Amino acid sequence: MFGLEICIAGVMLISLIIYMLTGGADFGGGVWDLFATGPRAKAQRDIITNALAPIWEANHVWLIVIVVLLFVAFPVAFATIGTALHIPLTLMLIGIVLRGTAFVFRTYDDQSDTTHLRWSRVFAVASIITPIMLGITLGSVASGTIQINVDTGIVETNFISSWFAPFPFAIGFFTLTLCALLASVYLTLETGDSSLQEDFRVRALIAAASVGIMAGISFLLSAEGAPSIRRGLGNSVWSIPFHVLTGAVAICAIWAIWKRYFRLARVLVPIQVTLIIFGWGLAQFPYLITPNLTFSNTAAPDSVLRPVLIVVVIGGIMLVPAFWYLYAVFKGSPKAS
């Protein structure tokens, strides 16, 4: 029987997956906004804007859920992460704010080419920085370099070395490639123009190759950068079947993109990303912060966890239908297949 802290941890993992599939794709849209080129560059940016505009702010709800649950249910871990990783976290938050600000000003400010280009660059650069910092944070948490005195609660690691290392940066760029892959696949169904679909198809193939490269680099660097994750992904009884399943889904997704089965790709790529994040969660378990902070020894008392879990269930009953309706209204009728 799972304890209350494991149930809440499961909600956090699910929220992270949903955030990557929604908010991560929004960041990926910013990546392709930066690399919009050729005679259809403006049309590419217009599609990205129209795709993001109705929903992009709402997608941050899932990040808020993660932060609030971490703060309330695992306060020691929250304090540790906030202390040791305050630099990448601050950069991530700045990126989120700048991205939103630039997106709004690009839409409502003076529409001259110079002004529009300036805000587009801020939007795109912030969209790149944010997922990299998110990945660096996750990589640092898994690396085992964050040291804390469990008895005193004092973080003994300096503010740089735990995240300014090859493995966290590899995870940062891995996260960025996943966002770019999601966005490019989603964007193939945001237009009925076959030329624009082909533009995003090519970008999706590039992103898929980049995901494979960064996955390999991250796995190699994990031998030194995150040995516990390496053991979990390499030596667990579930690891080989899990890798085979994830690899099969990834290959099928690339095949679907190559053959222009865009609807199928839109199903397979989110499954691929879900499996990647879920596999990281399994490999990390039972540690919330490797190597000495587990879900159990950082959890708040059951008197706190129980009402939190009740609120999460009630909130989910209200939130999920609201999101379903939001997407049904704005994303319910793809323009092409």
Tokens of 323: 């999101």
User: With bands split at pLDDT 50, 70 and 90, how would you rate the model's confidence at 90?
Assistant: very high
Contacts of 162 (CB under 8 A, 6+ apart): 84, 85, 140, 143, 145, 146, 168
Q: What is the pLDDT of residue 147?
A: 78
Closest to 208 (Cα-Cα) out of 253, 145, 146, 261: 253
User: With bands split at pLDDT 50, 70 and 90, how would you rate the model's confidence at 111?
Assistant: low
Q: What is the pLDDT of residue 81?
A: 92
Q: What is the pLDDT of residue 183?
A: 94
Q: What is the pLDDT of residue 332?
A: 60
Q: What is the pLDDT of residue 336?
A: 43
Residue type, 104: V
Average of per-residue pLDDT across 16-24: 92
Residue type, 87: I
The DSSP letter of residue 59 is G
User: With bands split at pLDDT 50, 70 and 90, how would you rate the model's confidence at 233?
Assistant: confident
Average of per-residue pLDDT across 112-122: 79
4-307: CATH architecture: Up-down Bundle (1.20)
Is 35's pLDDT higher than 90? no
Alpha-carbon separation of residue 306 from 15, 66, 313 (angstroms):
19, 17, 11
Phi and psi torsions of 293, nearest 5°:
-115, 110
Q: What is the pLDDT of residue 168?
A: 95
The DSSP letter of residue 190 is S
What are the residue ranges spanned by the domains of the chain? Answer: 4-307
User: With bands split at pLDDT 50, 70 and 90, how would you rate the model's confidence at 337?
Assistant: very low
Average pLDDT, whole number, for the chain? 88
E strands, 226-303, are 287-289, 293-294
CA 239 to CA 253: how far, in whole Å?
21
Q: What is the pLDDT of residue 3?
A: 85
CA–chain centroid gap for 227, Å, is 22
pLDDT digits (tens, 9 = 90+) for 149-195: 766 667 777 888 889 999 999 999 999 999 999 999 999 988 888 89
Is 256's pLDDT higher than 80? yes
pLDDT digits (tens, 9 = 90+) for 120-147: 889 889 999 999 999 999 999 998 888 7
Average of per-residue pLDDT across 104-125: 78
pTM: 0.90
Portion of the chain with pLDDT greater than 70, in percent = 94
pLDDT digits (tens, 9 = 90+) for 74-83: 998 999 999 8
CA 121 to CA 29: how far, in whole Å?
13
Tokens of 85: 């990783």
